[in-house]
Amino acid sequence: MTPLLLPYPQIDPVLIQIGPFAIRWYALAYIAGLVIGWRIMRRVCQQPPKLLSPEKIDDFLLWAALGVIVGGRLGYVLFYKPSFFFEHPAAILTLWEGGMSFHGGLLGVIVAILAFSFRNGVNPFMLSDLVALVAPIGLFFGRIANFINGELWGRPTDVPWAMIFPRGGPVPRHPSQLYQATFEGVLLFLLVFAVWKVTDGRRRPALITGTFCMGYGVARTVGEIFREPDSFLGFLWGPITMGMLLSVPVFLFGLFLVVRAAARPPLPDR
């Protein structure tokens, strides 16, 4: 019997094109994540214990954007396709063709946070906590953009909500991009927001950062169970994928930060 399928919505990855210039959903996803995250950070930083001024958040926006884009691209180049880009270095600049790594973007943002904090004399964990609070928003939009692009599809399945992706062959597959948008975006945001709002997380520098890293490590690993491994990598060992492997140090780093933050006294209101 033919399994029930959900039709894949044929959405043009290019929203608007004027001559050689195109506005793609993929680029809009990054812009939306950065702008919405910036506005939320601006508002939250004015609440006790008033970690940073809104003006500092304004200044940090450009640093964060560069960290995400440069780190995300270099992470993809180094972690996923180093041999290809070594032979075709000019292809590193073709960002419009896709190819970004969250783990590389995370490293890029860490560098941006450390550099900005050193330059402005602020506690880097106070800044990273604000970034961690809004990072799931960008992850959500990014996974939705993956779905619109018809990339990073899931493994073959016969579930009723399976889809046939244009570039994924004739086999019904999990819409794993939507799963990851839910795990890494919606659920992770609710987790870090709860720690920030319900507990004294905002008064314990690094607690939100650690919670985000642990939550992302788990969410990404669960999502990888349904996602088809990259064709040029496949499985590394048994069921282990590159996404799972890279999530292990992220989770362990988060665990270290949570234990460290919980052992220290909370900051007083200012």
Tokens describing residue 135? 């990072």
Is 56 among the domain residues?
yes
User: In which domain, by residue range, is 179 found?
Assistant: 21-262
Residues with Cβ within 8 Å of residue 261, at least 6 apart in sequence: 125, 204, 205, 206, 207, 210
Q: How many domains does the chain have?
A: 1
- State CA 34 to chain mean position distance: 11
Is 267 among the domain residues?
no
Look at 190 and 199; give whichever has higher pLDDT: 190
pLDDT tens, residue by residue, 58-108: 999 899 889 888 888 887 777 777 777 777 777 777 666 666 777 788 888
d(CA 139, CA 100): 12
Total Cβ atoms within 10 A of residue 226: 20
List residues bridging with 54 in a β-sheet.
none
Is 11 among the domain residues?
no
What is the percentage of the chain residues whose pLDDT exceeds 90? 44
Is 240 among the domain residues?
yes
Is 5 among the domain residues?
no
pLDDT tens, residue by residue, 21-35: 777 888 888 889 989
Residue 93, CB-side half-sphere exposure with 13 Å CA sphere: 2
What is the percentage of the chain residues whose pLDDT exceeds 70? 94
Of 40-54, 110-124, 213-227, the range with the lowest mean pLDDT is 40-54
Is 57 among the domain residues?
yes
Give the confidence band of 1 by pLDDT, cuts at 50, 70, 90.
very low
Is 268 among the domain residues?
no
Q: What is the mean pLDDT of residues 43-66?
A: 84
Is 10 among the domain residues?
no
Burial group, residue 100, by CB count within 10 angstroms (0-12, 13-18, 19+): buried
